[in-house]
């Protein structure tokens, strides 16, 4: 049967409206089955623990299981790629970290475009890095460390877990904004024995803390000054958040964001995060999106300045 053009267009418009209505209705009913939170790192690490905490919060409140799915490899890029190419229906989420922003800037042949393929949902919290030095190092403050480094260019060894890792780029950021020269020493194994023995002198983690890398003093270490108190504008933090494939319905994103922010206002949930060294940081979806974009831009500038290349 051949339909008149006007009737065909009318039916097509009706079908499109029905499909849109169905998507909206399913978004408001979300979730109706289990949701997978992809963690692009191995079980047992901090990202895995954060994902399990947020999943345990969401499951009873949204009435479905939120299952952690560990997909480690390629510095977190394998798991991120899986989510980037997943159906945008809210049933595959990503536990993203500050390493994601570094990866986007560092790796040149990624099989995903983070800005195009991923949409931020909500921030869970930030993690202050500690500018830690070997116990025998003569400097007692950031200002003294910078003065020593300027007087001894290239003679301070800075440890990291590898080229392009977050501790590495934190050190490169410090060099970029202060003009000091540090010698990067990447490790594939445990670097702590060498740091304690003084064979390397600097690491952005926790040991003898000169300063924290957050913009303001950390509630976790209130007596430790910030690097910014000596180097204005310096800020480098770890962070955790939830993302979804681009195209996921707004109603689903909004529902997840509201629940994440509710969890961060809960005293018991906040206390659990703080015991893990994570400071709760609720954000709207738009705020988290801007935050991630700013992080990518910052680390892109640092990596370009330092001339860091993939190994």
* β pairing state of 118-128 and 279-280: antiparallel
**108 within domain boundaries:** yes
Q: Is residue 22 part of a domain?
A: no
Q: Same domain, yes or no, for 50 and 69?
A: yes
Alpha carbons 142 and 213: distance in angstroms, whole number = 11
One domain, residues 41 and 61? yes
Residues 6+ apart with CB under 8 A from 280: 124, 125, 264, 269, 270, 273, 274
Structure tokens at 122: 């909500």
Report the distance separating Cα 238 and Cα 240, nearest Å. Answer: 7
Closest CA to 40 of 117, 115, 103: 103
Same-domain status, 42 and 116: yes
Q: Are residues 288 and 205 in the same domain?
A: no
Domain of 190, CATH number, reads: 3.40.190.10
Q: Position of tokens 């922003």?
A: 101
Cis peptide before 99 (omega within 30 of 0): no
Torsion over CA: 48, 53, 58, 60 (sign)? positive
Same domain as 182, residue 168: yes
- CA 144: distance to chain centroid? 31
Q: Which domain holds residue 197?
A: 130-229
DSSP state of 4: P
- How do residues 217-276 score in pLDDT, each as one tens digit? 988 888 889 999 999 999 999 999 999 999 999 999 999 999 999 999 999 999 999 998
Query: Do 119 and 138 fall within a single domain?
Result: no
- Residues of the chain below pLDDT 70: 1-26, 206-208, 311
Number of other CB atoms surrounding residue 4 within 10 Å: 8
Tell me the CATH number at 53: 3.40.190.150
Global confidence as pTM? 0.84
* 77 located within any domain: yes
Assess whether 219 and 251 both reside in one domain.
Answer: no
Q: What is the SS3 assignment for 221?
A: coil
| Element holding 279 (H helix, E strand) | strand 279-280
- Residue 271: predicted pLDDT: 94
Same domain, residue pair 73 and 91: yes
DSSP line for 252-302:
HHHHHHHHHHHHHHSHHHHHHHHHTT-EE----HHHHHHHHHHHHHHHHHH
State residue 19's pLDDT score. 43
Mark which of 195, 229, 263 sits at the end of a domain: 229
Q: Of 229, 256, 288, which one is at a domain's C-terminal end?
A: 229
Claim to verify: residue 186 and residue 219 sit in the same structural domain: yes
CA–CA distance, 159 with 287 (Å, rounded to integer): 33
Number of structural domains the chain divides into: 2
Within this chain, do residues 118 and 168 fall inside the same structural domain, yes or no?
A: no
- Residue at 101 is within a domain: yes
Does the residue 15 lie in any domain?
no
> How many C-beta neighbours within 10 Å does residue 23 have?
14
Q: Which residue has the tokens 């703080």?
A: 274
Cβ proximity of 280 and 270 under 8 Å: yes
For the CA atoms of 190, 194, 200, 202, the dihedral, rounded to the nearest 10 degrees, stands at 60
- Of 133, 131, 269, 100, nearest to 212 by C-alpha is 131
Instruction: Decide if 225 is inside a domain.
Output: yes
In a domain, 23, yes or no: no
Give the separation between CA 223 and CA 245, rounded to whole angstroms. 41
Same domain for 250 and 290, yes or no, is yes
Domain co-membership, 180 together with 266: no
* Boundary-marking domain end, from 207, 229, 251: 229
The token duo for 280 is: 């709760």
> Does any domain span residue 215?
yes
């Amino acid at each position: 049967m051949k339909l008149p053009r006007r009737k065909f267009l009318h039916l097509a418009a009706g079908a499109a409206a029905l499909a849109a209505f169905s998507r909206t209705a399913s978004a408001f009913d979300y979730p109706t089955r289990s949701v997978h939170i992809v963690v692009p790192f191995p079980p047992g690490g901090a990202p895995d623990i954060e994902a399990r905490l947020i999943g345990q919060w969401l499951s009873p409140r949204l009435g479905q299981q939120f299952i952690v799915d560990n997909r480690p490899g390629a510095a977190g890029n394998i798991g991120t790629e899986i989510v980037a190419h997943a159906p945008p229906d809210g049933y595959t989420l990503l536990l993203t970290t500050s390493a994601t922003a570094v990866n986007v800037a560092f790796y040149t042949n990624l099989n995903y475009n983070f800005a195009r393929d991923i949409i931020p949902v909500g921030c869970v919290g930030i993690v202050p890095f500690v500018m830690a030095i070997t116990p025998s190092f003569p400097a007692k403050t950031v200002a003294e460390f910078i003065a020593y480094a300027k007087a001894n260019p290239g003679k301070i060894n800075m440890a990291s877990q590898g080229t392009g890792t977050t501790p590495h780029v934190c050190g490169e950021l410090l060099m970029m904004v202060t003009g000091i020269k540090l010698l990067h020493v990447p490790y594939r194994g445990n670097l702590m024995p060498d740091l304690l023995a003084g064979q390397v002198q600097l690491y952005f983690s926790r040991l003898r803390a000169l300063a924290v890398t957050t913009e303001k003093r950390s509630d976790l270490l209130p007596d430790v000054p910030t690097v910014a108190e000596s180097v204005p504008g310096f800020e480098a933090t770890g962070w955790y958040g939830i993302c979804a494939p681009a195209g996921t319905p707004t109603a689903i994103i909004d529902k997840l964001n509201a629940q994440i922010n509710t969890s961060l206002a809960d005293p018991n949930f906040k206390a659990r995060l703080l015991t893990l060294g994570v400071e709760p940081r609720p954000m709207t979806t738009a705020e988290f999106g801007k935050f991630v974009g700013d992080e990518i831009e910052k680390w892109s500038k640092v990596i370009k300045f330092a001339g860091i290349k993939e190994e």
